[in-house]
Amino acid sequence: MTSLSRDTLSALPATIVRPGHDPAAIRTGVVHFGPGAFHRAHQAAVFDRVLDQDPRWGIAAVSLRSGTTTDALKRQDGLYTLAVIDREPSMRIIAAHSDTVGPGEGARLRALLADPAVRIATSTVTEKGYCLRSDGSLDFDHKDIAHDLARPAEPASVIGWIVTGLAARHAAGAAPFAMLCCDNMTGNGGKLRAACAAFARELDPALAGWIEAEVAFPDSMVDSITPASDAAFLAKVRHELGVSDEAAVQRESFTQWVLQRFDMADGPDLAAAGVTLTDDVRGYEQAKLRILNGAHSSLAYIGLARGLETVFEAMSDPALEHFVSRLMHYDIAASLKPVEGLDVAGYADAVLDRFRNPEIRHLLSQIAWDGSQKLPYRLLDTVQDALDAGRSVERLAVPVAAWMAFVRRKAQAGETITDPLADTLAQAATGSDVATAMLALRQVFPERLATDPRFRHAVVEALVAFLDGDIEPLLAR
Ligand code: CS2
């Protein structure tokens, strides 16, 4: 079947919203690592708006591992459908990608990163893509980091590529690009800066100093619920468009990008495209990670234990819905520092409402991926704050135990655990003392938290209930 492309754009039905600019006229000003569904539904939609006014900010989509998305984008001249799945559904064609770089195209990536027209790099490679330890610092034992330090001319990791790109500019006396991390980690920009500087220090201390002093790594909070594009969704898009679109994405209508203000003369007008630029991202970031993502992971692990499949189903389970609502309103809200202009209770209610979107089929199994990487930011920081303040961690221990029980079920059934620590987790979760073995994983649980008797007790108690299949009393907490 014919694909969406510049040639087929004009023949699309009138209900499909076309780009507000000429897709052929855009030039590359941004290099993006990890053009997955979230990037295409979120940052790219923002740059698409920017491009309506200014053609300099087209995105080169870079995939270091799999060429599936970059190949589809290339076939489709960078075009794809953004379907907003909400009370008022809509479909819009995004024309934000001016170039693609797939695996094995290192020379092209090197050239792009050195191109003075490229002034911004962005990344959505998920938490694990940054090769960080649980304390947020660069993991020098990570095989990709060890590889890249041994062969810096042929990086395998995103960190290696960012530093390679910056090194070329430093050597040429050129201005750096700004590096915008768009993943769900606390202090994401600061962590990425520290990781890049630590990597660079091993190769060239002067470069490390320059990265620390001259390169902008603004922190950001990114938010929009983006379920994976499954076959049913792609078939629906094909039906609506009359042509196929292998890069189509779907998301809720809510979308938010709060970005730390950074200096860039004559840069893109991100504010006009809907980005909130502020000097204090931390508060927003923490509220979003702990409230939305913390609740998401809780719904996922507890919901899967109850045989549920989607966020909507989990929210339709009264006991689970009440539990998660109390978790947000009491335990998580109490851990947040006040943020000017943010009413935490209202925010939590709005998030719960988004979870109740009946149009969105967001799989709990998708959210359950990479628990070892997500739990620290989403739940464990909240637990540590509660312990420090002398509050109860009885409720907060429930999703943590639910994660352990989830890993155990998967491992016992011989099913794949999608997590960079899969083998280690499976081993820990199938022994006789699951809680002790899991809490001993320093890649997940910092020493101080793991050895706190209040937390340990609460986790053990909740885990027993999960393993016995009797969690009603836990949810009534
Ligand atoms: C989800 C997030 O998959 C997950 O882990 O919690 O992708 C979530 O949907 C987004 O962060 C919402 O902004």
222 C-alpha to center of ligand 1: Å? 10
Residues 275 and 289 reside in one and the same domain: no
375 C-alpha to center of ligand 1: Å? 12
Residues 259 and 290 reside in one and the same domain: no
| Domain end among 246, 279, 312 | 279
- Report the distance separating Cα 193 and Cα 390, nearest Å: 33
Residues 158 and 225 reside in one and the same domain: yes
Residues 306 and 418 reside in one and the same domain: yes
| Domain end among 240, 263, 279 | 279
Asked whether residue 67 is domain-assigned, the answer is yes
ipTM of the complex: 0.99
247 C-alpha to center of ligand 1: Å? 19
pLDDT of residue 146: 98
Asked if residue 296 has its Cβ within 6 Å of ligand 1, the reply is yes
Asked whether residue 1 is domain-assigned, the answer is no
Number of domains in the chain: 2
Asked if residue 224 has its Cβ within 6 Å of ligand 1, the reply is yes
Atom of ligand 1 nearest to the CA of 296: 6
Asked if residue 285 has its Cβ within 6 Å of ligand 1, the reply is no
309 C-alpha to center of ligand 1: Å? 16
Atom of ligand 1 nearest to the CA of 38: 7
Residues 218 and 264 reside in one and the same domain: yes
Atom of ligand 1 nearest to the CA of 42: 13
Residues of the chain with pLDDT under 50: none
pLDDT of residue 341: 86
Segment 424-431 long-range contacts (CB within 8 Å, at least 24 positions apart): 425/371, 425/372, 429/404
Asked whether residue 410 is domain-assigned, the answer is yes
Residues 262 and 158 reside in one and the same domain: yes
DSSP letters spanning 133-168:
-TTSSB-TTSHHHHHHHH-TTS--SHHHHHHHHHHH
Give the predicted TM-score (pTM) of the model. 0.97
Asked if residue 223 has its Cβ within 6 Å of ligand 1, the reply is yes
Residues 337 and 235 reside in one and the same domain: no
Residues 69 and 143 reside in one and the same domain: yes
Residues 275 and 406 reside in one and the same domain: no
Residues 144 and 163 reside in one and the same domain: yes
Asked whether residue 261 is domain-assigned, the answer is yes
- Report the distance separating Cα 141 and Cα 133, nearest Å: 9
Asked whether residue 179 is domain-assigned, the answer is yes
| Domain end among 235, 262, 279 | 279
Asked if 219 and 190 count as a contact pair (C-beta separation under 8 A), the reply is yes
Residues 85 and 155 reside in one and the same domain: yes
- Where does 10-150 have alpha helices with state H? 37-41, 43-53, 68-75, 106-114, 143-150
Task: Residue 467: give the domain boundaries.
Answer: 282-475
Is the dihedral angle over the CA atoms 18, 24, 30, 36 positive or is it negative? positive
Residues 140 and 254 reside in one and the same domain: yes
Question: What CATH number is given to the structural domain containing 52?
Answer: 3.40.50.720
Q: Report which protein residue has its CA nearest ligand 1's atom 3.
A: 367
Q: Report which protein residue has its CA nearest ligand 1's atom 13.
A: 223
Question: What CATH number is given to the structural domain containing 338?
Answer: 1.10.1040.10
Asked whether residue 337 is domain-assigned, the answer is yes
Asked whether residue 49 is domain-assigned, the answer is yes
- DSSP letter at 263 equals -
Asked if residue 220 has its Cβ within 6 Å of ligand 1, the reply is no
Q: In what order do the strands lie in the sheet with 276-278?
A: 220-223, 256-260, 276-278
Asked if residue 419 has its Cβ within 6 Å of ligand 1, the reply is no
Asked whether residue 33 is domain-assigned, the answer is yes
